[in-house]
């Protein structure tokens, strides 16, 4: 496996501003100027988190890729650490839109509308950590994941490709 390039080569703008959190705050056309964006403990150059006003949302994780200039997000519920949303894009402005919506407590499907790169995992939010609702949310997520896998397998089979 090839060694990833130096992050300062892929992200000179991020390095010049002192990290991903600073770039998100400064370059998001004011969308995140008053939003708590923090450098992640795993590396300020490539990782940042955006807090939410909702206590049943963990901070949104924003990461820069190590092999190419691209961004990923992951929004979890804090009780079990299960993903509610995720996504990948090469547009940092889209990341800022998703981060603002996550912070503001926007409904998950509306976050997807605001930032089309966002993937809804199928899980739903359970503000009170009710075990029955948490189980239902996880089952719904598993059903969506399975349906997405079946589609990939069907598409590959129709094209005569290995999945």
24, 44 Cβ separation under 8 angstroms: no
pLDDT at position 100, please?
92
Q: Which residues pair with 74 in a beta bridge?
A: 61, 86
The pLDDT tens digits of the residues spanning 19-70 come to 898 888 876 666 677 788 888 766 688 999 999 999 999 999 999 998 899 9
The pLDDT tens digits of the residues spanning 109-138 come to 999 999 999 999 999 988 898 889 988 988
Asked whether the whole model's pTM tops 0.85, one would answer: no
Nearest-angstrom CA–CA distance, 103 and 75: 10
Q: Where are the domains of the chain?
A: 7-124
The pLDDT tens digits of the residues spanning 64-100 come to 998 899 999 999 999 889 999 999 999 998 999 999 9
């Amino acid at each position: 496996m090839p060694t990833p390039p130096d992050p300062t080569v892929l992200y000179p703008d991020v390095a010049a501003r002192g990290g991903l959190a600073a770039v998100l705050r400064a370059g998001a056309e004011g969308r995140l100027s008053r939003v708590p964006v923090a450098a992640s403990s795993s590396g300020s150059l490539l990782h940042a988190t955006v807090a939410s006003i909702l206590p049943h949302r963990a901070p949104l994780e924003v990461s820069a890729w190590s092999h190419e200039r691209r961004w990923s997000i992951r929004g979890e519920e804090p009780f079990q650490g299960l993903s509610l949303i995720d996504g990948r894009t090469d547009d940092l402005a889209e990341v800022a839109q998703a981060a603002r919506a996550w912070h503001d407590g926007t409904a998950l499907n509306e976050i997807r509308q605001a930032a089309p790169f966002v993937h809804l995992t199928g899980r739903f939010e359970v503000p009170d950590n009710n075990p029955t609702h948490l189980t239902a949310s996880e089952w719904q997520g598993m059903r969506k994941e399975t349906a997405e896998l079946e589609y990939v397998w069907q598409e590959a089979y129709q094209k005569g490709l290995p999945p």
